Amino acid sequence: METNLAVKLSANENCYGCSPKALEAIRAKVGGVSFYPEVNPVALKEKLAEKYGVTTGNIIVGAGSVRIIDGLIQTFVKEGEEVLTFEKSFVAYGQLSGFHQRTCRFAPLKNFRCVPENLLPFISDKTRLIFIANPNNPTGTMISHAELENLLKTIPRNVIVTIDEAYSEYVTDATFPDSILLQKKYPNLVILHSFSKIYGLAGLRIGYAIMDDKLAARMAEGQIPFSLNYLSSAAALAALEDESFIIQSARVNADERNVLYRELNSHGIHVLPSQSNFMYMWFEEEGEKKKVYDLLFKNGILVCDMKIFGQENALRITVGDHETNNKMVRILTE
């Protein structure tokens, strides 16, 4: 198909790039790439510890949060034990369980939401690790503080619950979990974060997790030395220090997300309200979805066809900037 691809709205990256301070930090270090990176990114861990009111012993930094997801499965799920997550959620949970030859069970969503009560029938003596993306990718829906705490109260303490907050900075709903507060109360809660989304550093591969120090020590034993690259921790540190870039990205995203939702919805397109920087669009039939995908592609906009994740009738669209969103609405509604 002929196209003049101009905008990528398929992977939920920050359409405003990254903080100029992060770029400065990268430029300042780029001449040193012939050196190995630090084994332990101390300065970044100290900054994260200060941000969350925890100690550096509670923090694991990895080459992208997918690498930490991989490490959690590898470290904590023994042969014969199981991982549990939701269907229509981040594909890596099931994929990486498969790589490690561990069974991953999938609980159904309820009205496109990952309601924790739907996990309960799937929990058995074998369940060792639960993944909940919050907000969920691809639906953009979220669970509340009360829902997460109820789950933590209910399940055995030897089941680790990982709440994946890759998109948490985009949330505007005040009932979003204070997961740090819960982590201090429930040591089996692990909180996962990424620098690939609002921080705009997807290409540098860096993410982190906050967890009980004994769990972190076990994870650290299995970490591959030098797996972070020479530039990533300095860029992440600078990105963390530039709070105004994050606040501004979140604010503009929330405004654009509202407009996009309202416009698409008012033209009869099925789109879910989102707490993230992407939206889930679904169709009665695959043919209808394909038509929309092709139309956007022909006009230079690449969105994510959820067919590759087994959802034939859905698209996931990253919220773009004002100009892109206007263009998309125009194309879809004309």
Ligand X SMILES: Cc1ncc(COP(=O)(O)O)c(C=O)c1O
CB of 124 to ligand X, least distance (A): 25
CB of 64 to ligand X, least distance (A): 3
Q: Are strands 82-86 and 103-107 parallel, antiparallel or unpaired?
A: parallel
Amino acid identity of residue 102, one-letter, is R
CB of 334 to ligand X, least distance (A): 31
CB of 166 to ligand X, least distance (A): 4
Please give the residue ranges that form the binding site for ligand X (CB under 6 A).
12, 64-66, 90, 133, 137, 164, 166, 194, 196, 202, 207
Look up residue 248 and give its two tokens.
Answer: 């501004």
Look up residue 103 and give its two tokens.
Answer: 């069974």
CB of 65 to ligand X, least distance (A): 4
CB of 196 to ligand X, least distance (A): 3
The smaller minimum CB distance to ligand X, of residues 129 and 329, is found at 129
Question: 3-state class of 302 per DSSP?
Answer: strand
DSSP state of 30: G
CA torsion sign for 211, 214, 215, 219 is positive
DSSP state of 266: H
Q: Which residues contact 184 (CB under 8 A, 6 or more apart)?
A: none
CA-nearest of 247, 294, 233, 276 to 64 is 233
The smaller minimum CB distance to ligand X, of residues 12 and 183, is found at 12
Which helix or strand (DSSP H or E) is residue 286 part of? helix 286-298
**SS3 sequence of 240-255:** HHCHHHHHHHHHHHHH
Amino acid identity of residue 320, one-letter, is G
Cβ 186 vs Cβ 215: under 8 Å = no
Q: What's the helix, strand, coil split of the chain in %, to 5?
A: 45, 15, 40
The smaller minimum CB distance to ligand X, of residues 133 and 250, is found at 133
Cβ 58 vs Cβ 211: under 8 Å = yes
The smaller minimum CB distance to ligand X, of residues 229 and 299, is found at 229
The smaller minimum CB distance to ligand X, of residues 196 and 325, is found at 196
Instruction: List strands edge to edge, sheet with 59-62.
Output: 59-62, 207-210, 189-194, 160-164, 127-133, 82-86, 103-107
CB of 34 to ligand X, least distance (A): 26
DSSP line for 104-149: EEEEPPBTTB--GGGTGGG--TTEEEEEEESSPTTT-----HHHHH
Q: What distance separates the 2 farthest-apart alpha carbons in the chain?
A: 57
Q: By Cβ distance, which residue is nearest to ligand X?
A: 64
CB of 187 to ligand X, least distance (A): 22
CB of 207 to ligand X, least distance (A): 4
The smaller minimum CB distance to ligand X, of residues 74 and 326, is found at 74
The smaller minimum CB distance to ligand X, of residues 196 and 311, is found at 196
